[in-house]
């Protein structure tokens, strides 16, 4: 009997926001899959325990892994599938990498082993997990998505504000592809992963004199909250989320 591929949302950063289902699935799975964004890491690696020290630096950098570890300490001893997920935009290169990641997961799952891909936030929202999930589903492998609390819901709660009321609309905008046109949309604008584009995003927001709220590393130990665009540092981290209300 073949195994199952689970895409498991770890929530935005606070280990207490892990769902009971996520904890159960991760505990029950034999292997955990983790995304590695290091451009020097080019091929999937299945670590059964022998390469733990060599790959430990990737565990330290993996936000999803660090969220789950305090709740599931036995995670440290589980077998791990490290999957390259570089932040590049070359479509053909990305397609090849994602194919290889899916192939590596398939080889494990076909042997009857369950794999849990742990991802920050929710697996259905800009998650690298879905690149593997879709390919495996097309191969006829059983797949399952375990939702996690999205970062923008956690950020709104952190700032004690609603995202939308009555007929208000919500727009989720990835900052890495430009935000100028999207800022003109009516309703609440959520700008995700603004880190590298922060100077451009700030300039666009200030030019429109928009009211902005931002949480950097929401729920993590180094969390920071900003209420004005002028106060946001240009070098804010990758996990920076902005909420702009009309």
214 versus 1: the higher-pLDDT residue is 214
* pLDDT score of 90: 86
Closest CA to 10 of 106, 113, 145, 141: 145
Domains and CATH numbers, the chain: 4-146 (3.40.1010.10), 151-244 (3.30.950.10)
- Between 10 and 245, the higher pLDDT residue: 10
Closest CA to 244 of 163, 125, 180: 163
Helix (H, G, I), strand (E, B) or coil at 145: strand
Percent of the chain with pLDDT over 70: 98
Q: Of 200, 185, 154, 176, which Cα lies nearest the Cα of 17?
A: 154
- At residue 216, the pLDDT reads 93
Give the span between the Cα atoms of 224 and 217, in whole angstroms. 7
Give the HSE-up count for residue 104: Cα atoms under 13 Å, Cβ half-sphere: 25
pLDDT at 178 over 80: no
Pairing of strands 142-146, 4-9: parallel
**Upper half-sphere CA count for residue 133 (Cβ side, 13 Å):** 19
| Nearest-5° Cα angle at 83, 78 to 86 | 145
pLDDT of residue 200: 86
68-112 tens-digit pLDDT: 999 999 999 999 999 999 988 789 999 999 999 999 999 999 999
Residue 20: alpha-carbon gap to chain centroid: 19
pLDDT for 52 equals: 61
CA distance 23 to 15: 10
30 contacts: CB under 8 Å, gap ≥ 6:
3, 78, 79, 113, 114, 115
What does the mean pLDDT of the chain come to? 92
**pLDDT on residue 50:** 62
Q: What pTM did the predictor assign?
A: 0.92
Spatial neighbors of 201 by CB under 8 A, at least 6 apart, are 175, 179, 191, 194, 242
């Amino acid at each position: 009997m073949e195994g199952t591929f689970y895409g498991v949302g770890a929530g935005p950063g606070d280990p207490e926001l892990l769902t009971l289902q996520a904890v159960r699935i991760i505990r029950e799975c034999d292997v955990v899959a983790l995304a590695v964004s290091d451009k020097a890491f080019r091929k999937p690696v299945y670590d059964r325990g022998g390469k733990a020290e060599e790959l430990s630096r990737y565990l330290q950098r993996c936000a999803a892994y660090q969220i789950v570890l305090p709740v599931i300490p036995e995670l440290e001893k589980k077998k791990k599938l490290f999957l390259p997920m570089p932040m590049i935009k070359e479509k053909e290169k990305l397609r090849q990498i994602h194919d290889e990641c899916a192939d590596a997961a398939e080889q494990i799952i076909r042997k009857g082993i369950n794999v849990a891909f742990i991802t920050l936030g929710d697996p259905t929202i800009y998650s690298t997990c879905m690149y593997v999930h879709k390919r495996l589903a097309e191969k006829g492998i059983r797949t399952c998505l375990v939702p996690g609390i999205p970062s923008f819901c956690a950020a709104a709660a952190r700032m004690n504000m609603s995202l939308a009321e009555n007929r208000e609309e919500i727009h989720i905008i990835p900052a890495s592809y430009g935000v100028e046109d999207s800022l003109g949309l009516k309703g609440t604008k959520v700008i995700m992963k603004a880190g590298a584009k922060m100077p451009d995003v700030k300039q666009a927001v200030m030019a429109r004199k928009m009211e902005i709220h931002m949480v950097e590393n929401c729920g993590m130990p180094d969390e920071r909250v900003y209420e004005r665009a002028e106060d946001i540092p240009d070098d804010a981290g990758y996990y920076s989320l902005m909420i702009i209300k009309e």
